[in-house]
Copies of this chain bind each other. A is one copy, B any other.
Amino acid sequence: MRTITIKPKAITHNLNQVKQRAPQSKVLAMVKSNAYGHGVAAVLPALQQADGIGVATLTEALEARKLGWNKTIGLVEGAFTADEWQQAIEQDISCVIHHGPQLEWALQNIPPANSATRVVWLKYNTGMNRLGFNAEGVLLAAKRLHEAGYQLILTTHFANADDHDHQLNAMQIQRFSDVLSTLQSTISPDIKGSLCNSAGIVNFPEHHYDWVRPGIILYGSSPVTDQSAQELNLQAAMDFSAQIIALQNVSANDAIGYGSRWQAQQDTRTALVSVGYGDGYPRVISDDAYVTVIDASSNQSYRCPVIGRVAMDMIVVDISSAPESLAIDSKVVLWGDAPRVDEIAGHAGTISYELLCRLSIRPNRVLA
């Protein structure tokens, strides 16, 4: 059995960490990509103290409404078509507007005065060069939207906020601050600002503005390069585990698995674990990757290296450190409290966000 256990209390704890870091700001909790793989339905009840949630697609927004979320929903890439804009109005979704066509849809189809869709997140491209208007475009769009009766939140996105000292950060912050001041002085003092994602919340406390937009930090991973999740007092919101399904003794010089990638230096006790890339465990990992095997009879934990190529349905681990009495069916933690998903992501040459999002539908899912 592969099991993904979601811990709502950990998510609430992490949300409270965000609120302590940004006490003056409203919180738009990011739940896009099925709540970073955790499952939107499992996560929403833990986010009741957030002021709103952020999603990437209209489908995700509609699902959250169906699940009963009745506060702000921010659609962070905005409507993809004029028809989606109309649907956003019908479901009271607040949209990002980041390019000309979206601006025209908004000006041609104005929501009722009391609609949440009257709140628009106007995207300014300060250096990510992905979504958003340039400074001149933002000023023009803001003027037209304000005149049409929209309330505005100026927003932008950091390219390198995980790296506190990256030179682009100061430039993005300055550009954002300058344009927001201009909008407030020339169009309306009521225009709000939203700058910080998870990394920005941690690294730039003096620039939190009106709304912060935490994502990965809610799920217990570190968003920055120089502090671990533990140092940030974050709790892992997911425990991903499997079980031992067979025990083997491998002789010195025997190779294991596809490509005969791992060769035993000595006679080695190994265990087969019922998980693979078909579940979402990464196929390519370094030799430092390990799992935690739990011996139920003693409740002791053992750190066991993953050896050989990760296959679709199984991995092999070296259980030399565990007692010979270790039973088939023993629980194997792939990530959770130890190892943290951040560690496995490092061994896989990527970031935790990707491992969490790319879990497949095969593992059994439960709530803690």
Contacts and interface: CB of A to CB of B under 8 A. Distances in A.
Interface of A: 1, 32-34, 36-37, 56-57, 59-60, 76-77, 80-81, 98-99, 101, 127-131, 159-160, 166, 168, 243, 245-248, 250, 254-260, 272, 274, 276-280, 283-284, 308, 311-314, 316, 328-329, 349-351, 353-354, 357-362, 364
Q: How many copies does the complex hold?
A: 2
A108 to B, nearest CB: 16
B358 A272 contact: no
Given A258-B159, A259-B160, A130 B360 contact: no
Contacts of A361: 34, 361
Contacts of A257: 128-130, 159
A175 to B, nearest CB: 13
Contact of A350 (B160, B254, B284, B314): B284
Contacts of A98: 246
B130 A316 contact: yes
Contacts of A130: 248, 256-257, 272, 308, 311, 314, 316
Q: Does more than half of chain A's interface fall in helix, strand or loop, or is it mixed?
A: loop
A141 to B, nearest CB: 14
Contacts of A354: 277, 283
Contact of A101 (B99, B272, B308, B328): B328
Contacts of A351: 283
Contact of A129 (B77, B250, B274): B250
Given A248-B129, A284-B350, A350-B283, A277 B312 contact: no
A34 B357 contact: no
A6 to B, nearest CB: 15
